[in-house]
Amino acid sequence: MAFLFTSLASAGAQEFTQRQQEIFKTTAAVDGYLTEKLHCEFWATIKDSPAYYPGVEREISAVLGPMILDGLDFHKETWASIAKSYAARTAIKTDAYVAARQKLESNPSPEIRAAILPGLQKADDIIQAAAERTSYSSGDLTLFITPELIEQVKTGLDASFFRMQLLTNPTWDSKPKEWQLNEARLRVVSALPFTFEQQDLALANGVSAKSSSYSLNLDGENFVGLASVKVAAKIDESEAVLTRIAHGSLAAMGISSPSVVTVKFRGEASAVAAGYTQTADGPVNGSVRAIRPSGRDDIVLFFAVSATSQIDADGNRGTLEMSTVVD
């Protein structure tokens, strides 16, 4: 997706710099992010260019805006085709995929057509790899197309395009709004949308559970999320269970010895765990709250991960909690 957008450099009044292309890729990635600082950096580079003239921002935005909508259609149909191909073990390209692909490759600009054709070919290659259950390689990337990857990408596309629309608007216009996290039965106020993922979990003693989680990459170093975990067996109501769940949530991140305390949360029992671990890329600080809301059949988790500090992890979790309603 990022490749297609960065290939549109020739459509504007000037070519995008390498740094602008990096911002594109960061914004468009399924697990990407966008901050006001990155937005300002992107448009400041245009204003500082020797080729700048008044109104060029509007021209660039007018070109990229429609391409974002076309790109959204193309990528949704790409992954719909990938899912069908994986299931059938034969390459299947939906009629909508074929139509969306033809629209992109029929762009009236020869420069744009030449730039985006490699990206369209990559989509065809991924569909074929999914059908054959073989690995897909491009540059320094090699991966298997799996059901988990397909689901993650499909659910992350809407968030990616929301960020892309913010980036391609010359005016930063990210106002907090209420998001319905339906699968977790939560409501949260946030400037940016969360990415959804659902997993089947195998817990201790053969007990199964289903996790519906929503995560948000704040700035590449700080992440927050919410989750609803439904356990097939009856859940003990004691605080000890919440303590084990909070402890286990951080242990799953590699934080082996977190501190855990029990404390009331909106009148309900809850357990809060915090701790850090050292990785090859630096420290990772985690903060989790587990609660068992009255009248619900699940455990709700608030979590935050920070590469900057424990204070940031705890603070980001606290901010998330204040912005969330548990229905």
Q: Is 9 helix (H, G, I), strand (E, B) or coil?
A: helix
Label residue 17 by pLDDT band (50, 70, 90). Answer: confident
pLDDT range class, residue 4, cuts 50, 70, 90: low
The whole model's pTM is what?
Answer: 0.83
Question: DSSP string spanning 100-139?
Answer: HHHHHHT-S-HHHHHHHHHHHHHHHHHHHHHHHT-EEEET
The strand ranges marked E within the chain are 135-138, 141-144, 177-181, 186-190, 195-202, 208-217, 222-231, 259-265, 268-279, 282-291, 299-306, 324-326
Could you tell me which CATH number the domain at 177-326 has?
Answer: 3.40.1000.10
User: What percentage of the chain reaches a pLDDT higher than 70?
Assistant: 92
Mean pLDDT of 284-289: 96
Q: How confident is the model at residue 60 (pLDDT cuts 50, 70, 90)?
A: confident
CA angle 35, 41, 43 (to 5 degrees): 105
Contact 143, 136 (CB under 8 A): yes
Number of helical H runs and strand E runs in the chain: 9, 12
- Mean pLDDT of the residues in the chain: 88
**pLDDT score of 290:** 95
Q: Which amino acid is at 213?
A: S
Q: Is the pLDDT score of 29 beyond 60?
A: yes
277 or 65, which is more confident?
277
pLDDT tens-digit profile of 210-244? 889 999 999 999 999 999 998 876 766 678 889 98
CA of residue 23 relative to chain centroid, distance: 15
Contact 326, 300 (CB under 8 A): yes
Every domain range in the chain assigned CATH 3.40.1000.10: 177-326
- Half-sphere exposure of residue 193, counting CA atoms within 13 Å on the CB side? 18
Placement of tokens 């299931």 in the chain: 87
* Helix or strand holding residue 28 (H, E): helix 18-28
Q: What is the pLDDT of residue 205?
A: 59
Q: What is the pLDDT of residues 157-205, one digit of tens each?
A: 889 889 988 998 999 988 999 999 999 999 999 999 999 988 887 665 5
- CA dist., res. 157 & res. 145, Å (int): 16
pLDDT for 42 = 93
